[in-house]
C-alpha cells in the first residue's frame, strides 16, 4: 500500500521500477522541467513550508553544484548514461560486485557483472536478505513500495498549484494528518527544485537496484535495458548533473523524513549524501565529466 492509504477503499500501489509511473516533468512545449519555472510562492495554495534550515543549506549547495558542473555537455552512450545515473549506489559496497578500488578508470560509466559464481551468489544473498529481492518481480515491488517518492511530491504540487489530483476529504484521519505534515515538509524544497521535486532520488535508487540485479544475473541485459528506459527518459528532463544532485538530496531528505527521522538525523544523512554527490561532481570520470545522453540526437 502507498504511504498515505488515501481512500477508505484501498487501491493498488504504484507500478514497479521502469513500469508506468508519474508523467515526465516537462512543459507543454516538451522542454525539460528546469525550464518550467516554479510559481511565485505567493500564488500557491495550502503552502506552509516548515522552517528547518534545510532549505538554506540546499540553496547554497545548488549554487556550489552549479559552479562545479561542466559548462559543456559531452555526449555519452545510453549504456554509459545508465551507469552514471546509478553513480551514488555505485559508491556503496555491495557484496559480489566490484567496487571503485577494484575497477578501472571507467568504473562510473560501465555496468558491472559479478566475476564468479561465488560473487554472484554473494550478491543475490545480499539482495534477498537486506531488501527481500529474489527475482525480477520482487525487485520491481521493492522499488515501487520502498524507494519511489516523487509521485507524492507531485500530489503536493497539484494542491499547491491549484490542481488537486484527488479529493482530500476522502483521506482517512491519520492519512490526512500525515499528508499535511509531509506536504508542508516538502514545501520548503519547492523554491529550489520546482517541478523536479524528488525525481532524481527515484532515478538514482531504482537504477542502483536494477544495476545490482543485472550484475548478479537476476535480470538479463534485455530486461535491464527495458526497465531502465523510463528512468533514462525521465533523467533527460534535467539540465545536467548539478540539478540532478540537488533533486537527489531533496529526495533523500524526504525519504529519511518518511522513515521517521528528525532534524538531527536528517542533517547527518544530508552530510553523507552531500559528500557522495561532491565525489561524483568532482570526479572527471563521473558526473564531473559533463557526460550526458541526448536521446533525441542519439545515433546508437
User: For 28-49, how does the pLDDT look when each residue is reduced to its tens digit (9 = 90+)?
Assistant: 333 344 444 556 788 899 999 9
pLDDT higher than 60, residue 257: yes
Q: Has residue 245 been placed in a domain?
A: yes
Q: Rounded distance, CA 58 to CA 60, Å?
A: 5
Residues 6+ away with beta carbon under 8 Å from 96? 114, 118, 119, 120, 121, 122, 123, 124, 126, 215, 216
Band the pLDDT of 73: cuts 50, 70, 90.
confident
Whether 201 maps to a domain, the answer reads: yes
In degrees and rounded to multiples of 5, residue 47 shows phi and psi of: -105, 100
Query: How large a percentage of the chain has pLDDT more than 90?
Result: 78
Q: Looking at the domain assignment, is residue 208 inside a domain?
A: yes
Q: How many CA atoms lie within 13 A of 66 on its CB side?
A: 11
Q: How confident is the model at residue 299 (pLDDT cuts 50, 70, 90)?
A: low
With respect to residue 189, please indicate whether it lies within any of the assigned structural domains: yes
Q: Is there a domain that residue 274 lies in? A: yes
Per-residue pLDDT tens digits for 190-206: 999 999 999 999 999 99
pLDDT value for 101: 77
Structural domain containing residue 163: 52-292
The verdict on residue 230 lying in a domain is yes
Residue 5 domain-assigned (yes or no): no
- Supply the mean pLDDT for the chain: 87
Mapping DSSP to helix (H, G, I), strand (E, B) and coil, where does residue 94 land? coil
pLDDT digits (tens, 9 = 90+) for 125-149: 999 999 999 999 999 999 999 999 9
Query: Would 14 be classed as within a structural domain?
Result: no
Specify the number of domains making up the chain: 1
Cα 37 to its chain centre, rounded Å, is 20
The DSSP code for 105 is T
**Number of Cβ atoms within 10 Å of the Cβ of 116:** 9
Q: Report whether 285 contacts 106 (CB < 8 A).
A: yes
Amino acid at each position: 500500500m502507498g504511504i498515505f492509504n488515501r481512500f477508505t477503499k484501498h487501491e493498488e500501489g504504484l507500478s514497479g521500477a521502469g513500469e508506468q509511473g508519474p508523467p515526465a516533468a516537462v512543459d507543454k512545449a516538451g522542454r525539460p522541467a528546469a525550464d518550467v519555472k516554479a510559481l511565485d510562492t505567493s500564488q500557491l495554495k495550502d503552502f506552509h513550508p516548515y522552517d528547518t534550515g534545510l532549505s538554506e543549506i540546499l540553496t547554497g549547495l545548488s549554487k556550489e553544484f552549479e559552479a562545479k558542473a561542466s559548462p559543456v555537455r559531452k555526449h555519452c552512450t545510453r549504456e554509459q548514461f545508465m551507469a552514471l545515473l546509478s553513480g551514488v549506489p555505485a559508491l556503496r559496497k555491495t557484496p559480489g560486485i566490484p567496487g571503485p578500488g577494484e575497477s578501472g578508470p571507467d568504473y562510473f560509466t560501465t555496468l558491472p557483472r559479478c566475476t564468479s559464481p561465488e560473487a554472484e551468489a554473494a550478491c543475490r544473498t545480499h539482495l534477498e536478505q537486506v531488501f527481500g529481492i529474489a527475482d525480477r518481480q520482487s525487485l520491481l515491488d521493492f522499488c515501487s513500495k520502498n524507494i519511489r517518492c516523487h509521485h507524492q511530491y507531485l500530489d503536493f504540487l497539484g494542491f499547491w498549484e491549484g490542481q488537486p489530483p484527488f479529493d482530500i476529504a476522502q483521506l482517512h484521519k491519520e492519512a490526512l494528518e500525515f499528508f499535511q505534515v509531509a506536504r508542508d515538509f516538502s514545501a520548503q524544497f519547492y523554491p529550489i527544485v520546482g517541478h523536479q521535486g524528488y525525481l532524481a532520488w527515484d532515478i538514482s535508487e531504482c537504477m542502483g537496484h536494477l544495476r545490482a540485479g543485472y550484475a548478479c544475473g537476476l535480470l538479463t541485459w534485455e530486461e535491464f535495458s527495458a526497465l531502465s528506459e523510463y528512468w533514462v527518459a525521465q533523467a533527460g528532463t534535467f539540465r545536467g548533473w548539478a540539478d540532478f544532485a540537488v533533486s537527489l538530496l531533496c529526495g533523500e531528505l524526504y525519504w529519511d523524513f518518511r522513515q521517521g527521522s528528525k532534524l538531527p538525523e536528517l542533517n547527518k544523512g544530508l552530510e553523507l549524501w552531500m559528500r557522495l554527490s561532491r565525489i561524483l561532481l568532482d570526479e572527471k570520470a563521473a558526473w564531473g565529466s559533463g557526460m550526458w545522453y541526448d536521446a533525441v540526437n542519439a545515433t546508437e
